[in-house]
Structure 1
Amino acid sequence: MDTVVILASGLSIILVAILWVQKKFDYWRKLGIPYEEPHFFYGNLKGVGQYDHDGLLTQKFYKKHKGKGPVVGVYFFLKPVAILLDINIIKDILIKDFPIFHDRGIFYNERDDPLSAHLVNLSGDKWKELRNKFSPTFSSGKMKMMFSTMLEVAVKLEKKIDQVCRSGKELDIKMLMALFTVDVIGSCAFGLKTNSLEDENNEFFHIGVSVFDKPRHGTRVMFVLHVFREYARKLRIKLFRDEVTKFYSSIVRRTIDYRLANNEERNDFMQLLIELHTKKGKDNLPFNDIVAQAFVFHIAGFETSSATLQFCFYELASNPDIQDKLRHHINEVLEKHDGKLTYEAVMDMKYLDQVINETLRKYPPFGLLFRETSQDYKIPGTDCILHKGTSLYIPIYAIHHDPEFYPNPSKFNPDNFSEEAVKNRHSFAFIPFGAGPRTCIGARFGATQVKIGVITALRRFKYTLSPRTKQPIKLLTKFFIAQPEGGIWLNITPIN
């Protein structure tokens, strides 16, 4: 009799659980919003972290449901998520209605994992205050001041390429550009001569790379943490490995102590952080906040820029006519500026802008933008209301590969960013780093170092694809930032 009772109780619990899950999966249908039929428990996350990059997953939903309504409802595990399909609604959410969508709804754990509480993840008033304090660091005036420092690193980059060229070996373009961007950020942000291009074994480089190559959690777990943020915080889950936190805390502490002891001031990001840290009263920035912001500047700055550079050189090697045209354009502009690589000369290279923008279109560093409603939101032109706390995903990768905006989107075509093409296209059809008040604060810095990287690597060298490069390119699934499976390998020859 007891066995029967136990079995009946167990079956009842299972039945209740099934009915509860089914009720959760009825959310979008009740709202009258088109939705993707979910699988039991994990919803529509099948493939993420296994065989689909997050940008490709949302592209499937975008292509299937575009035209059926302004959004399509999906489920990431049991949590309803709205994927935006209408580019005008996207513009409203990022610009006009930004006060309702100022937060990303990303997991971070400030108490146990201070590195996670950085500007990209933060929400509410703290994000707004820090954003206002840091914005002056990334002005065009500051870029000009940092330009000479970037050029010093570029000299080492050219020397490194020349060494590989003389050796006759294949070039691992990802590794090369990661070394370059780490050194640029080490100098411009921390005031450190990291010398990664001369010594690949330095700790600054390897710890930074390990954040992405050896993440604490895989892509699917990251989605779980975002979905169940409050539970994850109560369980005191961390995003980053302890050795990463220890390293960045140590290097920031040493830098601050050295500068204060020697009354040393520099025109870099660290100087701004130190000034905020030493202020009295409410404007004082605690040490953990200093570390978090220095960390994200380093990590986001070098990884997104090095990824853009490697994809750019993949396409230049695959399209020799574009490579030759760009090289000719660079040399032509430099002649107008007396052969000197100045900030003004770089800003004058319009075709270089087109090539880099086309790279960012085809390979946006992030496949998605995250937003969360802070109050109920009526979707313009409809009767549908997104309830407070609803997560919204803006499918950057899908928009950038939409033939409505880019004919033959799989083709690398810098003419997509000619003056006329840009003028005739919706302004929000190209948003590699977001838009509105929460657009990437370091986009100008990243663009400048990418341009210097392309100019330096292209002026004296020609590139072709090595057979070692896998074709066609497949994006790795374990990264949120786009990375090619197997890397990109190039052959180099000098140009006399």
Structure 2
Amino acid sequence: MNETSIQCLICIGSIIAILYAYFRHSFNYWKNMGVSQLNPTFPFGDMADVIFRKKNMGDKIKEIYDRMKGEKYVGLYFFSRKAFLPLDPVLIKHILSKDFHHFYDRGIYYDEENDPLSAHLFSIAGPKWKHLRSKLTPAYSPNKLKFMFTTILDCGHQMTDLLKVMADKDSTIEIKEILARYTTDVIGSCAFGLECNSMKNPEAEFRLMGKRAFTQTVGDVLKMVIIRSFPRLAKLFNFGVFSSPVTNFFQRVVRETIEYRENNNITRKDFLHLLIQLKNNVNIDTDNINKKQASDGTSLTVEEAAAQAFIFFLAGFETTSTTISFAMFEIASNQEIQEKVREEMNNVLKKYHEDVSYDMLMDLPYLDTVISETLRKYPPAPVFLRKCTKTYRVPDSDVWIEKDLSVLIPAYGLHRDPEYFPEPDKFDPDRFNEENKTKIWDYSYIPFGDGPRACLGMRFSMIQIKIALILTLKEFNITLSKKTILPLQMETKGIILSPIGGLWFNFNHIKQ
């Protein structure tokens, strides 16, 4: 070995030693603060299992939640980055609601200049978020949802028509892809004004781009590691959160649809119409369609409108279809619950002259409890983020959360905690009936988040879920297929709970 090679090895060894010393020093941060922590390992901190896809984030944080139960909070490390994990619902209430002004940011990377699709309501913060939230809230009012109801119902009928054809050929069906196509068609129509037809054509471009948005290649994973750990470097290299084909597709669809509507004076009562009004600096009146010039002088660009339509799609189609599939799993596994849901549904349909309507959906209290219990066992976002925007002293302690630190909210851990929900693995809708729901510990049940940044699309999602369940149970008796792998084990990729091997059901026609 020549002298140059030896010098290179010494240099590399010195760099590794310096990095190791830096990480070991960083891994003492929470201990020095007097906060309980785990045993972080170089260089991954506490997240090696997640990075190497041995566990998904929801399962990992729940594992930590269960292990550290009894503590009010825990300190974590993502590589050398520090994160705060509150375990106490009282403290979580402070973070999400009472002391929201310290935690109004989600801490999600976005780059308005180089990756405008990433600058959506879910990721942005500060005055711009507050203004946009107030502008978009009317899109989810009961009046606006009633206008969209027929569109959602039509998509639901297309889904059940497909299930009938499939069940005639083979009664055993994997449901997740069917439901993903249903929610794709719903949101494609309501948010983009497009007839996606993915129920008839699973290779429709809208469906393929939706799949790609939720598929992570090895390159995507490496890019996200850089984005999360070194955001300045990501911005320098113009790294986008989503792949170029996805970004280009959604921007093109919104731009072309807006141009077509404006050039042809077309008005539809959907989410995109609201975005067009905001682009043209028009206030939204939730009770009628009268236009009034906005007083604040602000408006959306086409790129900003595309970002808001995209998050409507991204936040809605995968989480909603997954919730429906888990609800079907529990209904298929508990036939007495299925019969009770169907009996209530049939009685209410008689009351409304066999018409599935918006008002009819609001008159199904037992179905509401079934959906609530599904969201408890399988929360759409097992973990969600906040970022400390102003240094915060944890109540009744000498612990400080520094500005810019990430805070993780463990929804999955709370929902499966036997202290708050006895026999947490048991599916029991009666936890949420009128008598029992008042006994639920405050902030132990947060499937849609809480506080000012709670999920804006909750009502919209609930309508999709109810329509899918009602129309399916009206046509079929559902039982669990032997193809479903039990007990359910969740995929280790991604952040949304997804069972390995899918969910397979037997769909048997009900004689009318």
Q: When the two structures are superposed, what TM-score results if normalisation uses the length of structure 2?
A: 0.92
Alignment partner of 1:140 is 2:155: no
Paired residue for 1:440? 455
Question: Per-residue deviation at 1:389?
Answer: 1.2
Give the counterpart of 1:19 among 12, 18, 21: 21
CA distance in 2, matches of 1:263, 1:430: 45
Question: Per-residue deviation at 1:298?
Answer: 1.4
CA distance in 1, matches of 2:102, 2:219: 30
Per-residue CA deviation, residues 379-410 of structure 1 (Å, 9 max, x unaligned), is 01111111111111011110110001111111
Moved more, 145-154 or 90-99: 145-154
CA distance in 1, matches of 2:15, 2:246: 43
Gaps of 5+ in 2: 283-295
CA distance in 1, matches of 2:469, 2:204: 24
Give the counterpart of 1:466 among 481, 485, 491: 481
Paired residue for 2:160? 158
Paired residue for 1:177? 179
**Quick one: which amino acid aligns to residue 170 of structure 2?**
G
CA distance in 1, matches of 2:363, 2:180: 26
Distance 1:217 1:312, change over 3 A: farther
**Quick one: which amino acid aligns to residue 399 of structure 1?**
L
Gaps of 5+ in 1: none
Paired residue for 1:429? 444
**Quick one: which amino acid aligns to residue 302 of structure 1?**
F
CA distance in 2, matches of 1:158, 1:5: 70
CA distance in 1, matches of 2:120, 2:9: 50
Per-residue CA deviation, residues 96-137 of structure 1 (Å, 9 max, x unaligned), is 100110001112222222211111111222222211110110
SS at the partner of 2:151?
A: helix
Paired residue for 2:258? 256
SS at the partner of 1:420?
A: coil
Distance 1:197 1:7, change over 3 A: closer
Paired residue for 1:348? 363
Contact 2:226/2:233 (CA < 8 Å) preserved in 1? no
Distance 1:20 1:257, change over 3 A: same
Moved more, 167-176 or 257-266: 167-176
Contact 2:369/2:429 (CA < 8 Å) preserved in 1? yes
Question: Per-residue deviation at 1:198?
Answer: 2.1
Give the counterpart of 1:120 among 122, 137, 156: 122
Contact 2:333/2:480 (CA < 8 Å) preserved in 1? yes
CA distance in 2, matches of 1:16, 1:155: 62
Question: Per-residue deviation at 1:339?
Answer: 2.1
**Quick one: which amino acid aligns to residue 493 of structure 1?**
N
Paired residue for 1:208? 210
Per-residue CA deviation, residues 305-361 of structure 1 (Å, 9 max, x unaligned), is 101111111111111111111111111122222222121111110111111111111
CA distance in 1, matches of 2:205, 2:350: 40
Per-residue CA deviation, residues 269-303 of structure 1 (Å, 9 max, x unaligned), is 10111122233995121121111111111122111
SS at the partner of 2:109?
A: coil
CA distance in 2, matches of 1:76, 1:231: 17
Distance 1:215 1:334, change over 3 A: farther
Per-residue CA deviation, residues 166-202 of structure 1 (Å, 9 max, x unaligned), is 1124212111111111111122222222222222221
Paired residue for 1:289? 304
Alignment of 1:3-402 (within 5 A): 11-49=13-51, 50-68=53-71, 70-214=72-216, 222=224, 225-279=227-281, 282-402=297-417
Contact 1:37/1:74 (CA < 8 Å) preserved in 2? no
Distance 1:222 1:290, change over 3 A: same
Contact 1:105/1:226 (CA < 8 Å) preserved in 2? no
Contact 2:223/2:239 (CA < 8 Å) preserved in 1? no
Distance 1:293 1:41, change over 3 A: same
**Quick one: which amino acid aligns to residue 368 of structure 1?**
V
CA distance in 1, matches of 2:95, 2:239: 31
Contact 2:55/2:493 (CA < 8 Å) preserved in 1? no
**Quick one: which amino acid aligns to residue 422 of structure 2?**
P
Distance 1:259 1:31, change over 3 A: same
Paired residue for 2:468? 453
CA distance in 2, matches of 1:38, 1:412: 35
Contact 1:48/1:219 (CA < 8 Å) preserved in 2? no
Contact 1:219/1:479 (CA < 8 Å) preserved in 2? no
Paired residue for 2:433? 418
Question: Per-residue deviation at 1:17?
Answer: 2.6
CA distance in 1, matches of 2:241, 2:451: 27
CA distance in 2, matches of 1:165, 1:179: 17
Distance 1:124 1:154, change over 3 A: same
CA distance in 1, matches of 2:91, 2:29: 21
What is the RMSD of the two structures over their aligned residues, measured on CA atoms? 2.0
**Quick one: which amino acid aligns to residue 489 of structure 2?**
K
SS at the partner of 1:463?
A: strand
CA distance in 2, matches of 1:185, 1:404: 38
Per-residue CA deviation, residues 136-187 of structure 1 (Å, 9 max, x unaligned), is 1011111112112212222222211211121124212111111111111122
Distance 1:478 1:423, change over 3 A: same
Question: Per-residue deviation at 1:9?
Answer: 5.6
**Quick one: which amino acid aligns to residue 263 of structure 1?**
N
Contact 1:158/1:456 (CA < 8 Å) preserved in 2? yes
Identity between Structure 1 and Structure 2 (%): 40
